[in-house]
Amino acid sequence: MASDEKLLRGEQTQAAIVQAAYRLFIQKGYHGTSMRQIAREANLAVASLYNHFQSKEQIFLAVLERYHPLFEILPVLAQMDAPDVPEFVHRAAQFIAAHLDQRQDFLNLFFIELVEFRAGHIPHLLEKNEPLLTSFIQNFVAKKSTLRPFPPFVLARAFLGMFFAYYVTRFIAANNPTLGGGANVLDDFIDIFLHGILIEENSA
């Protein structure tokens, strides 16, 4: 019983460290946050912090695993019901956009990972999410539609990449129609994903 209580306390302390680090990383960035600041935010001594995490980067990886939206989005996409691929893409894209609207922290995490780590942790996140990613792809390609013969993981990359890009660039475009910031721009992204950008010319 004592060992179980000790394990529980350890897990609670780790969770408090990750939560404290997350708040600081969002406010100050990775390089602007020190281990001493994380310890102070978590109400711990610095030595105690190192009992749970060997380095600041290890803490940041734990933050990504706890707060990256992939871990929340993929389970829904893996189970999402739709009669065909176009309807699946519409429902999935709308869900991703609405979910990310509630996660204003994501841009901070995204740019910390992209700029300060050159996306070095993304392979780890994808590996950790591989079962869910596989389920999402299987759900996607099983819909009643004829798909071009792209490798399934390429389709998944294109889908997730396009709609994460929609979210990121939406903040640049804001509500400026000149920059593609109109009300129906998500529908345009969906249409581009499904049909491309070229008009097919009738052969003579």
Grouped pLDDT means (10 residues each) for the chain, 204 residues: 70 95 96 97 95 96 93 93 95 93 87 92 90 93 88 90 86 69 83 90 58
Domain that holds residue 89: 68-195
Lookup: tokens for 138 = 């299987």
Predicted confidence at residue 2, as pLDDT, reads 61
CATH number, domain of 40, equals 1.10.10.60
Q: Would you say 21 and 109 are in contact if contact means Cβ atoms under 8 Å apart?
A: no
The pTM of this model reads 0.84
Predicted confidence at residue 176, as pLDDT, reads 67
Residues 107 and 178 in one domain: yes
Predicted confidence at residue 170, as pLDDT, reads 81
State the Cα–Cα distance between residues 75 and 39, nearest whole angstrom.
33
Residues 26 and 82 in one domain: no
Please name the helix (run of DSSP H) or strand (run of DSSP E) that holds residue 5, with its range, or none: helix 2-28
Contacts of residue 33, defined as CB under 8 A and 6 or more positions apart, other chains included, come to 21, 24, 25, 56
Residues 30 and 106 in one domain: no
State the Cα–Cα distance between residues 170 and 98, nearest whole angstrom.
13
Residues 56 and 73 in one domain: no
Dihedral sign, CA of 178, 183, 186, 192? negative
DSSP state of 84: S
Residues 58 and 106 in one domain: no
Work out how many domains the chain is built from and give that number: 2
Predicted confidence at residue 131, as pLDDT, reads 92
Residues 150 and 177 in one domain: yes
